[in-house]
Structure 1
């Protein structure tokens, strides 16, 4: 059965401007201090930015720059992590995605900002040439 296309609304664009990913922090994700490896945190953040950018542009997007990643709290083994990625700005062929990582203990309702950063993404066409992005 063929897919049914519907016109894109402002509500759709606002929905596409944000992406949420959730991970459980398992022992294989942690160092000898039983906290999430910084590189794993950065990889999860880049993945969230990539998905958010792809949903916004609906094209191939690549990371061209990341700002400093501010680590505010360690991410303990056995916690839930939620990454919230949002398109915050657009240029002609690029967009900026801010990603925040929150920690939630599994046994109580509590939420702490663990780290945040910004990622610059560029939209590419089928020849890997920069392509215009929808304006924010």
Structure 2
């Protein structure tokens, strides 16, 4: 069913990956660079869906690695647009690890990304204001 014009843009994107051996470091855990790449990809998807335009990463900040993610684990990335500027979007990304055999989950990594929406000429373009949450 198509989205209504009055509906607010989606603010969240979810992705799932599995940690294969080529994603790991010498300790058999997820390489930090791979975690950041997946997190940036999730931020890109959330920001692109929200802005309905091309976006680029302008900044990544406050990336906290809480627990290691072993080979064979699933990771679920949840990216949420939490603030907007004129052409920028702040996206928070949580990455949870899941033991495929037991289903146990745990927050592994959390970070914040600033994305900038671009027009067809590669110039910053306005994004919709983020509606206040209805808490």
Which 5+ residue runs of structure 2 have no aligned equivalent? 131-135
Within 1, Cα distance between the matches of 2:115 and 2:98? 28
| 2:25 counterpart of 1:31 | yes
Find the partner of 1:72 among 66, 82, 87: 66
Within 2, Cα distance between the matches of 1:114 and 1:6? 33
1:59-103, CA deviations, whole angstroms, 9 ceiling, x for partnerless residues? 010000110210000010010000000000001110100000000
| 2:1 counterpart of 1:7 | no
Greater helix content: 1
Residue 109 of structure 1: CA displacement? 2.3
Which 5+ residue runs of structure 1 have no aligned equivalent? none
Aligned residues: 130
Counterpart in 2 of 1:114? Answer: 108
Within 1, Cα distance between the matches of 2:94 and 2:49? 18
How does the TM-score come out when normalised to structure 2? 0.91
How does the TM-score come out when normalised to structure 1? 0.91
Q: Pairwise CA RMSD of aligned residues?
A: 1.4
After the TM superposition, which parts of structure 1 deviate over 2 Å for at least 4 consecutive aligned residues? 4-10
Secondary structure of 1:42 counterpart: helix
| 2:101 counterpart of 1:104 | no
| 2:15 counterpart of 1:44 | no
